[in-house]
Amino acid sequence: MLRDARRRSLPDPEGPIPKHVAIIMDGNRRWARERRLPIIEGYRRGMTALRETTRAAGDFGVPVLTVYGFSEENWKRDASEVSLLFELCCVFAGNELDSLRRENVRVQVLGKTEALPSAPRKALEHLVRGTSNNTGTILNLAVNYSARTELKDAVKALVGDVNAGNIRMDQIDATTLGSYLYTTGLPDPDLLVRPGGEYRLSNFLLYQMAYTEIWVSDVYWPEFTRDHFAEALIEFQRRQRRFGN
């Protein structure tokens, strides 16, 4: 009976597996506050959840995983909290490089990383370089990211190419605009996972998620496990995607 229960908790390997899963890693601070712990402890536990979920993505055959790590709006938080977040970013990059190499995970970073302090920026660059030859799951870390900024940058670059004569106005379509986004070359997310019980997109991949299925869990991100990730995939397999039809 236990073996059958475990089997039922896994996504069907013959069923549809999302090519791209996006995750808003929400609930770190609420998890810590409810336990009267320092806020940073919530983020530390959140990094453990990220490690486990990345491995689960590889095990379940998800090619691309994009996680919302730090938004442009997060700069408005207390300066000490932001500083600690960047310290954790450096720790994550240093501690996880070897395991990501072993697990064939390739890391990419989405966002305005040039605006980050030197230490986390260099740590992320080192992580990207150190995994650049890997051919397995792509892990996109959205850091200092804003979907509105991404769209603004895309439009400015596209207008520049039109003015330079590199592309004609009548050649612009959805595929063309998509090629100017940070996610160029990647499939749009099939599934958005949002722990923490909130029902909003929070300025995350707004253009790319036009037809994305959304799965929300009340579980805070620090408590999110591979079983929760499997549950999201199972729900995805139950749905009939319509793409606006």
Q: DSSP letter at 109? A: E
74 is known as an active-site residue: yes
Domains of the chain plus CATH, in order, are 16-145+188-216+228-235 (3.40.1180.10)
> When comparing pLDDT for 19 and 245, which is higher?
19
What pTM value is reported for the model? Answer: 0.93
The C-alpha atoms of residue 127 and residue 107 are separated, in whole angstroms, by 7
Q: Is the pLDDT of residue 7 over 60?
A: no
Instruction: Give the pairing type, strands 64-71 and 138-145.
Output: parallel
Tell which residue, 45, 31, 119, has the closest CA to residue 83: 119
**Per-residue pLDDT tens digits for 174-215:** 999 999 999 999 999 999 999 999 999 999 999 999 999 999
**Per-residue pLDDT tens digits for 205-221:** 999 999 999 999 999 99
Helical segments of the chain, H only:
2-8, 28-34, 39-60, 79-102, 118-130, 147-163, 174-178, 226-238
Instruction: Identify the bridge partners of residue 24 per DSSP, sorted by sequence position.
Output: 68
The C-alpha atoms of residue 166 and residue 180 are separated, in whole angstroms, by 13
Average pLDDT of the chain, as a whole number: 93
- Rounded mean pLDDT of 14-36? 96
The residue from 59, 74, 153, 227 that is catalytic is 74
Q: Is the pLDDT of residue 235 over 50?
A: yes
Write 234-243 long-range contacts (CB < 8 A, 24+).
234/9, 234/10, 234/11, 234/12, 236/11, 236/16, 236/18, 236/190, 236/191, 237/11, 237/12, 237/15, 237/16, 237/17, 239/213, 241/190, 241/211, 241/213, 243/211
Percent of the chain scored above 90 by pLDDT? 91
Question: Edge to edge, what strands does the sheet with 106-110 contain?
Answer: 106-110, 138-145, 64-71, 20-24, 191-194, 213-216
**Per-residue pLDDT tens digits for 130-152:** 999 999 999 999 999 999 999 99
The torsion region of residue 111 among left (phi > 0), alpha (psi -120 to 50) and beta comes to left
Contact 66, 142 (CB under 8 A): yes
State the pLDDT at residue 229. 98
The residue from 26, 140, 144, 188 that is catalytic is 26
State the pLDDT at residue 8. 52
Contact 7, 202 (CB under 8 A): no
State the pLDDT at residue 9. 76
Q: Is the pLDDT of residue 61 over 80?
A: yes
* Alpha-carbon torsion (198, 200, 206, 208), positive or negative: positive
188 is known as an active-site residue: no
